[in-house]
Structure 1
Amino acid sequence: MIHDQNSFRDAGESAAEAALAESRRQLATLIGNLPGIVYRCGTAPPWALDFVSDGVLAITGHPAAEWMAGRISWADIVHADDLPRLSDEIEAAVAARRPFCATYRIRHREGEWRWLMERGQPVAGADGTLFLEGFIADVTEQKQLEASLQREAQRVSASVTAVLENTLDRVYSLDSALRFTYVNARFRQQHAEEPELIGRSIADLLPGFEDTDFGRAYRRVIDTRVAETIEAHYPPVDRWFEAHVTPTEGGVTVFYRDVTERKQAEKALRDSTARARSILDSVPQIVFSTDARGQLDYLSPQWQALTGRDNNADLGTGWMKAVHGQDRRKVRAAWARSIAGGRLLDVEMRLRDAEGSFRWVLLRASPRRAESGEIERWFGTCTDVNERVVAQAALEESEAITRSILDASPDCIKLLDADGRILFVNPLGPAAVDLDDKMQLIGRRWVNFLLPETAQIAADALDRARGGETVNFTMPHPTHKGRPKWWDIVVTPVKGAEGARIVVVARDVTHQKQSEEQVRWAANHDPLTGLPNRLLFQERLDQLVTRDERLDRFALLLLDLDDFKRVNDSLGHDAGDILLCAFAERLRAAVRAEDFVARLGGDEFAVIVSGAQGEEQVTSVADSILSELRRPHIHAGRVLDCNASIGASLFPKDGRSRAELLKHADIALYVAKSSWRGNLRLFQPAMRADMQNRVSMLALARNALEKDLIIPFYQPKVDLRSGRVAGFEALLRWRDPRRGIQAPNTIAAAFEDINTAAEISDRMIAKVVADMKAWTAAGVDFGHVAINAAAAEFRKGGFAEALLAQLDAAGVGADKVQVEITETVFLGRGADCVERALKTLSEAGVRIALDDFGTGYASLSHLKQFPVDVLKIDRSFVAELGENDDAAAIVRAVINLGRSLEIEVVAEGIETEAQASWLTEGGCHLGQGHLYAPASAAAEVKRLLARLNAARHAA
């Protein structure tokens, strides 16, 4: 029995030992197949190893036996620069009894340096002695990839920054008061709803900002001038941000990005690490194993941490449910190929994480073979490579966006090397300069394409760009086919992984330049004639008067078209414009190339005759001009008079300033137009007095209007046969406070000013109507009153209606009024207004008298067209009756014309009985003049009537 029991006990112990041995074998196999090193060692350098897995050979080149035998220590292969830091980190972890994670370099047996990531923790043995247990992974490839990505990112960033104003980050600059001095496009897009940001305080945009971690960091950088990178949570938006704050002159520049997702990922990783309870659990990758057929039979806890799924449920092929649907076929095919061929599995795929998002992972597995060579199991890891894949995708997207922007850019963009050779040009570059292929540009120096006069400017800009400056300038440069173009150039330096580069951005501003030139031309030229305008003329004249008068003498000619107003009024503005253009063309043709011709406005032109030494030369030039202008100009079958009057002044004889020369030439022009037209007048000092007299006349007239000094005097019109007073003519007088009643010739110049003449006429009519109203009320039988109306009255419209309204308001009948007009009202602009006004007056009972008949331009057709009731023979003809047969013939013809047309005839200016007898015998029955009575004030009319009637009865 005892023997049986002992046998049973021995058999049980053997089975347990066998199971334990098998378990240890499996654990050793699992650890041995891990892509890294599992170890147990002392807590102080050189960290003598009690245990190290076989993975140490692949990573260090030294087999586990050498380590276990103590022939080499870990401290021997750690990089000298990394050893102190590694020692400090382990020492701190041992002292605090906490896990540690360190990244450092070791020298491989073959001499190359490799990057390792070590995760470990202090563990107490049975006797209380502390050891280090952990896992070491080779991260050399990851480090190299990270470095490669970083270099690539720097290159892309440098190129994009040089070409684009914005970056993927939000960038802004602040002054020392935290006011915005610059914001990039991404920042403006983020705050598109805000008004202009430049100059505003960041506190206006983000209230309470200065009390946040970011606000305090900005202030520190401003104070210390030391850059900081801060990563912190911003409560107002519940997001994490990373900000790089760099001191700049007078403030800071901030590059910031939203790192909320990364912070969340880091938090998830920290949470996963905290749950690790063993050396295996400290491995950051998901560790798994399968049977020979690829059926999953082990998943480390990191699987559940990442996917949120139950590890046990995902054994076998259940784990495939966490793989992105688009990746499953690829992963299954890769697995099948690896199992069939016994090759390493290496495939990237997306796993659904616990939050429902997908993350990129790298799935790797290698087979463990039996001694027979058959695959027994597969061991592998699943590494999170999401950031690398996303970063790579972002980089590719950024490059694609950059290419798209460059392709779509309306600017010509070139990248040059440090020597100025073209490395890159966007598609618009060759097309903009009429080249077919960009290879005609690549590899050649940019400045060699430029004109000699602009190449040096470009070369200087490149030199400044090499020194770090951004240079902007505008230059002309024709295309390959010779088309002229203007370009706005920006030359900017960039620094990248490839070294110094220069970006040249050229924008075609030809149209803008042409527009600017057109604006400049339009500002200095008359649009109708193309001649220089008053502004350019004044500039030229100012330049000339500042030169040496002994060397640069010249003459100033002012020209005025003699008949322009009549053409413009009678034929319209189109005909007037054509006449002005013809005048300008002939004027240019009549002078020399060195003479300066300008249109000052309206029908006024000017010529600066260069080198004019005296009056003879000026007269010669003026004769040439007048001769050219006298040729008739035909328009629409009509001959237009293109003649002009000219006034001239000489420099320096007639003035040493622009104002003096213009004033004196204008005075000479006025004299030329006042004497006889179509001639030249050179300024003489005596002309100044005449002009001043005319100015004085106009001033007297305006003063008389302002102070109500205009008064009508009345001269009787007498029946030459009976002596009866038939009516009166109202004649203009004005009262001078010192000299008393003045005749109209003292303000004669006022009648040449249309507005003043019209105002005088209005004042006279108002006073005459008031006098007729008073006479009517007093019972004075005045017959009728003839009122003189200026031509300007008719052209402004409404004259007839206004006069009739005044008569009606005063209670004076229309038959008590005659309106006397001169022949000039029939001519020029507004003839239709004249006809309408005269017909309105005539139909109301007002008689129309044509004054000074025979001295002007009226034709007999006017007597038929207009309602003329009275013809008045001008006093110049009456004065010569009995002395001049021609005058007598004209008077006789007018009387006969009136008799034939049944128009009343009145003779003016009768001074003698002989004149009165001649007129009476000739058939003229009405007259006026000093023979009967001079003009008298309204208050004298009643007594004048009584005296004349008494004289008539006495006779």
Structure 2
Amino acid sequence: MSLVDLRRSVLPPARLASIPGLAVWEWDVVSNRLAWSDAQKQLYGVGGDPERGEIDFLNTVHPDDRTRVEAEIVAFLASGQAFDHRFRIVRPDGTVRHILDRGVIERGPDGAAERLFGINIDITAEIEASLVARRAESQREALTGLGETLRNLTDFAHVDVLGASIVGRSLDLIRCGFALASDGGKHAVIKRDWVRDASIRSGAGSYRASDYGHFLDPLLQGETVAIADLAADPRTSRVAAVWAEWDVRAVAFVPLLRNGELVAYMFLHSGQPRVWSIADLGFVKTVADRIWAAYEKSAAQRDALAVFNAVDQMIWIARPDGYHEHYNDRWYEFTGVEPGSTDGEMWNGMLHPDDQDRARARWQHSLRTGTPYEIEYRLRHRSGEYRWVLGRARPLSDLDGQIIRWYGTCTDIHDAKLKEAELRRATALLELIGNSTPDLIYAKDREGRIIHVNEAAARLHGRSRDDILGRTDRELWVSENEADAYVANDRRVLVDGETIEVDETHVGAHGVSRTFRSVKAPIRAPDGTVVGLVGHSSDVSEQRRQEERERLLTREVDHRAKNLLAVVLALVRMTRDDDPTKIRDKLLGRLMSLSRTHSLLSASRWEGASVRAMLEEELSPFLAAAQRVELDGVAISLSPPAAQALSMVLHELATNSAKYGALSVEGGALTVRWDKEAPTGAFSLEWSESGGPAVMPPSASAGFGSLLIRSIAERQLKGSVDYDWRPQGLCVRLFIPRLEQAAEEAER
């Protein structure tokens, strides 16, 4: 029995309907009855009322999949215990869904299929995501291929069709191309376009934009226009019939603006209504921009070729690999050779034999690095004479930075070379004078070529003077940056006619840097024209180093003075008492303590002060008495900021002990211990008094000395201070986790 002839009633058994959310079905093959769950009916867009009639399952399958699905069902019934296949369905509202159908088959004793149980899974989102991913990958590959094509393209005449074909095939269009806009976008001209096949007619021709809808304004603003359905969109519904004559149901336009004006736009024609995705339109925008840039560049190249032979200068063009493929008429007039005879590498044979290797090496260097080509060599004239020329070339790159052409010139400088010889003879006397000084004396012509150097300048370069003459700074200096700096200074003289005085740096072959004070002045012809420059450079390296040392010393003195004043001002602000005399005495005591610390720092050239020395200075009146003061600690040298901060703490402790503590009576004793932990650098100090007056904890607020100590220890040095008011004597413990770092940070 054919499956197409099977008519199956919708029977929703309770066991199917009771499984919410699952699109399951059951087919009783014997009775030819098919039961669907509610979720299954919802998936297929079928009403839930079983009394509505019968459903022909195969009629829900997409026409393109129907034959395959019928054959698969027949195969499943014939053999197997389970099945798994995929197909598309068309719901009553016209939407298409992708279905994964899985199930099992129950067979009778005779092996015949009696009942099928299955579940349908909607995999539309997965399929569409896969399609989007594949399209995105295809578009990335298309852009990569486009970049490669544009880099290697030599004929840009039909580059617009190349771009249109890439977009058209990627987006499955029927027609695509570029329209040139005029009259503010009101009119457009399509010179050529891409069509899917021969059944689609070309849209080449002239058009008025208003005849095809109202979408010009956003294009003028640089906005992409996308219309999913020409018949439904209010911008085009009135002229949908016009578009239908071209078999177009959906369109998109990507504008191309230059200097804020619409110059062209890329048009996309679809034979079916479609939603234009943001990703697809972004892809089109990228292609359009690249193609239009190449199109504009090709127009510029055509314009350049128009003047190629009109310039009174030898001009040549080479490929990225250095192959010389074009020369203008001036080249052939100068050399007298047949057109085409110097193509490729044959140009090198026109040079003087002594210049061929040097010119070839320089050219190969430019090809490898992309740096401009510039060299002087002797070129054979049509008379047979070798004349000096200046060869120059610059690369032309595409949008991706790849070199696509080299454009070069040859300038006859032979007469200038002869004048150089005369100028060298005239400098003989200057050479004798110049060689008697350790300073550098030199002269250069208008082109920056060295025409005179004294022996001191030759020694600087480690070359003979004959090896230097005729060369430029770019040929002599090891560092290109140095050469650029020297050339820039020379141009101020040669081009602007200035007399300048500047410092110039030279790094020798062994890396030793020297500073020269250079005075450069123009050499003028009788008519005032600048024909070169003369320079005098004195080695001022030691002078500049001394000046730098003085600047550093001045900054250091200024910095230390400011820090000291800040400390003094802080002490003044913090010293309080009702009695001016006491204020004076306290302030003098603290300043004297700070002064003693500065004396220690000065003695060490401000490299640091030891903790022991600071304690000995503060406790010097009591050290003479045997057994009164014991100092015990490791040798620690503190930086100036740390020493200044700690000196204030020690001074307050010593003053308090001398007035009220153990050092205020004959039998009192003091022990000070300190340490510095490795590798953390944590600093600890214990001040322990004994044998003094009875100690009582302060009953009211702490005194100023205690406040000062706590402020320095906790706020400035980020540490802690602990007071132990023992009956036998005060014990103060100071702990600073990061003494040096905290002091440096506080100073800043």
Given the two structures, how large is their TM-score scaled by the length of structure 1? 0.23
Larger Rg: 1
The TM-score normalised by the length of structure 2 is 0.28
